[in-house]
Structure 1
């Protein structure tokens, strides 16, 4: 994210110690480039520190982009140009690549420069391959040095902004990210418009307003057993006998915690029926809510509706998809009716997007961010054979997820595609590095398993899909007072979201990267999933892939590590034994600080070499 320094009448000087790398921009937009042509742009790099800065190497994510630095060693205050050349031979369509700059700046040893281009192959009569999107409009992110959106603009000002760029009208989508939606003039296609606007020097990027798909499959057999995912005794589900224990071990996890009500999970979907008896007491209180820019709003009814209507109530209109997900995450447990969610005491924030468009989803993510959501469940996505901006990469969505401080849980998809980062990419793969984007450490991607601990025959899988969770024939809440069975990775994702909420309830000190890692490492290693998931090989599983296990996650967090461990040669603990020292024949004595926030500790175990003592 760019940060701009505005110079006020008072001039302040500062000195940065060490070497500090600075770029004049972190995106290079080549605009429309004729196929076969070679085009060169440059980026200024400067040493803002007091010690010499060394540019150690430059690395491109593809052979079509080359980078060369004018000088490799910069004195304090010195600068040079990095020349970036794009060879448009052998490439086509919408191109997004990365140039990595490695330096000896300890705070930023690797920086990425994003390269955008549209390769024109002279086939002007053929519409470029593009995924579904809203017709007649594009999203643009303005360069703040040229245009700063505040949200206070009247419609005349916005329309003037649009007309200056060959469009009919404009609306502000999100001020903090400087994102606007431009309505096109009659007759101009979305492909032509965003190609043209990407050449505008006042625009960081332009893109279609993409439309996403729910990742649910509708089962054709209504006579299904209930909730094998949390407690599988081998019951028959739709004619298939299950395997006892092929579940997330929720019953054992509930002996550790059932939730405390401190964690907020945003269900970014088609709305949640907050009147359902299993969800009423679980809904987030939005009476003091903030808007998408963090300004006071108030009066939100358990969430917000970004579908474009005047009614901002997130209650669903026909679809039970979001309500079903909310029940998996947090239907009240031990209440004598219906089902039990993973977390019995959680705050569910209903963030509605009826169209599942980029504009709606981005606003929903920023709303969740500013209103304290810890987890976002995103049971939707889009995929394609390339990771460029026409098929998979959605820069506005990617940037919004990157700025969300919590865990973003995605559903891998239901088409048996291999997310290998070579010829299949998905919007849920943002947690893994590709040649189009850097990995986001707060994204986890979930595949679908069944009641026999097998990956479903139609689930997506691959090295960029992190773990599996039950998703076939899942019984959960529906509209009104009802319940329904659904199948899909849409149903797998909220199991992970619910366990993440339990884990953060139990250990609120965990960072998002620590939480993601414990979800991936503390599941059950299923042999048939070997090589099919991120966790399908060491260091996660020696023989298998990870299926979510709620008890495994909580049990691992319930084994605290003491601090300030020290050894002494006498009970008065005045003579310490230093590292590498020996006690000889003397009895050693130990002292430590107990961990905090772990509740009652029953005892300690001390291991010394091959010895073990209680």
Structure 2
């Protein structure tokens, strides 16, 4: 069995421990054995010591015990975030245990505890210009940017810069929480008394003052890699402090959740970290890691966070592929509380390494030569979708903090509905644009509508075609429909053939015989959305 694994910025991660969880005897030994194996074998694809098993709701503990006895299994962890899910240390090989338990009555699934990795490509810094926040056409690594090819952060900060009471979780290699540009914005657990050796807030973690190290299972989520520190700086480095760089949400709080060791991270630890988020009412997390392997357990965990209003921001991956065709996870789960992010450069071109996906990747964000915080109190350039995702996580946090009564659906729609259209992403991502902080926190009337979705064209005969689409906005005045005609091997005669009123999602065109293609965009007084992808139809008598 081959399970290739890739992460989103160019690095590696691992997780452990979580709030409201039952820990079995020997759990620490089992988890440590897995991490020791990973450190000895950097290419390891899954834990050799534990597997996931999820039982059906009718299976009580006695029935579960009977099933596990078939492989001599011992329960390591019971996850309360996902009912019936547990991590099991089998008495046989994990390969045999997955096969045997997967065929047992009452078992929804059994699967490997996959390893995930970060894809990080650090570069030597040239000069500390954060083009992704404000692009004035400056040179970065020998490339001159395009003015305005940024997320509109400076304009947005005139409206709002965040709230210290709003936390953002960084599931990564840890965070150098003592960094001069991060220390002021590191989350402090209000329910915990530092250093008293007591779990004051009863969340299952003793002295979790500033988050938790799930990889080493202690209260010091310090970064030994640098990836998580770079991500954290993009999200929330302190702003207007006369030091270094500025984060997107520069007055919000960063919650370091260290889940990655030197060679990767385990799915079992990711779920524990997500449970911590729900227990501590953390509604945004950044997840710059990925794998080719599908994990039902992680899917279930992210899905279980929907009632908690949690938005899971993740990187699309760095293999330069279409993940609609070749899925990568968690990016391809496509859950309603997820936002998957591609990487763009300073000229509004998609990065050569970025994964795309017209239905799986939602939008783009700056991810090439991004300058941010680094280990040792320093700063560095890094590239990858791992660097793109935290731009979006910061935007999500600002919208949530500005609108605390909003649902996760409203926040997500605001992010996706206010993108800045970019030709390089049209037809390659859901929205066809780059995250636009300036538009996202402005009043709705000042924002162009979102690109129509689900465009379909049907031949009606009698020299006519019906164009139908899904209205993805609530603030459009109307829609424009564009047509091109096939002649020989060319598309010619591009014209706007008509308009449809607000909420009208069908248009009938009396066209000539032959092959045509159509696309649609929405508009209002603030401007127009990106065009939808083209749809082709053969019109007949």
Structure 2 length-normalised TM:
0.68
Matched, 1:261 2:157: no
Q: How far apart, in 2, do the equivalents of 1:165 and 1:326 lie?
A: 45
Report SS of the residue matched to 1:334: coil
Classify 1:185/1:553 alpha carbon distance in 2 versus 1 (closer, same or farther; 3 Å): same
Structure 2 equivalent of residue 497 of structure 1: 393
Structure 2 equivalent of residue 246 of structure 1: 149
Aligned residues: 395
Report SS of the residue matched to 1:531: coil
> By how many angstroms is 1:492 displaced?
0.3
Structure 1 equivalent of residue 517 of structure 2: none
Matched, 1:137 2:44: no
Q: How far apart, in 2, do the equivalents of 1:184 and 1:400 lie?
A: 22
Alpha-carbon contact 1:287-1:298 (below 8 Å) kept: no
Q: How far apart, in 2, do the equivalents of 1:182 and 1:162 lie?
A: 12
Structure 2 equivalent of residue 546 of structure 1: 433
The aligned runs of 1:573-584 (5 Å cut-off) are none
Structure 2 equivalent of residue 365 of structure 1: 274
Q: How far apart, in 2, do the equivalents of 1:279 and 1:484 lie?
A: 14
> By how many angstroms is 1:425 displaced?
4.4
Classify 1:411/1:423 alpha carbon distance in 2 versus 1 (closer, same or farther; 3 Å): closer
The aligned runs of 1:84-483 (5 Å cut-off) are 132-148=45-61, 164-177=69-82, 178-185=84-91, 188=93, 190-219=94-123, 221-288=124-191, 295=203, 297=205, 299-307=207-215, 309-316=216-223, 318-354=224-260, 355-383=264-292, 391-392=293-294, 394-404=295-305, 405-420=309-324, 422-431=325-334, 440-463=335-358, 464-483=360-379
Alpha-carbon contact 1:376-1:497 (below 8 Å) kept: yes
Classify 1:294/1:499 alpha carbon distance in 2 versus 1 (closer, same or farther; 3 Å): farther
Matched, 1:520 2:429: no
Deviations, residues 39-82 of structure 1 (Å, cap 9, x unaligned): xxxxxxxxxxxxxxxxxxxxxxxxxxxxxxxxxxxxxxxxxxxx
Q: How far apart, in 2, do the equivalents of 1:558 and 1:304 lie?
A: 42
Q: How far apart, in 1, do the equivalents of 2:130 and 2:254 lie?
A: 20
Q: How far apart, in 2, do the equivalents of 1:141 and 1:424 lie?
A: 23
Unaligned runs of 5+ in 1: 1-91, 95-129, 150-156, 384-390, 432-439, 536-544, 561-606, 608-614
Report SS of the residue matched to 2:111: strand
> By how many angstroms is 1:310 displaced?
4.7
> By how many angstroms is 1:362 displaced?
0.4
Q: How far apart, in 2, do the equivalents of 1:379 and 1:227 lie?
A: 20
Q: How far apart, in 2, do the equivalents of 1:487 and 1:271 lie?
A: 18
Deviations, residues 508-552 of structure 1 (Å, cap 9, x unaligned): 2221112111111212101222211111xxxxxxxxx21111101
Alpha-carbon contact 1:287-1:299 (below 8 Å) kept: no
Q: How far apart, in 1, do the equivalents of 2:414 and 2:271 lie?
A: 28
Q: How far apart, in 2, do the equivalents of 1:93 and 1:273 lie?
A: 35
Structure index of larger Rg? 1
Q: How far apart, in 1, do the equivalents of 2:217 and 2:412 lie?
A: 37
Q: How far apart, in 1, do the equivalents of 2:277 and 2:74 lie?
A: 28
Identify the structure with the greater helix proportion: 2
Classify 1:526/1:556 alpha carbon distance in 2 versus 1 (closer, same or farther; 3 Å): farther
Classify 1:530/1:285 alpha carbon distance in 2 versus 1 (closer, same or farther; 3 Å): same
Report SS of the residue matched to 2:70: coil
Alpha-carbon contact 1:288-1:296 (below 8 Å) kept: no
> By how many angstroms is 1:465 displaced?
0.5
Worse-matched range after superposition: 293-302 or 199-208: 293-302
Structure 1 length-normalised TM:
0.60
Classify 1:353/1:134 alpha carbon distance in 2 versus 1 (closer, same or farther; 3 Å): same
Report SS of the residue matched to 2:442: helix
> By how many angstroms is 1:140 displaced?
1.0
Q: How far apart, in 2, do the equivalents of 1:321 and 1:135 lie?
A: 26
Report SS of the residue matched to 1:444: strand
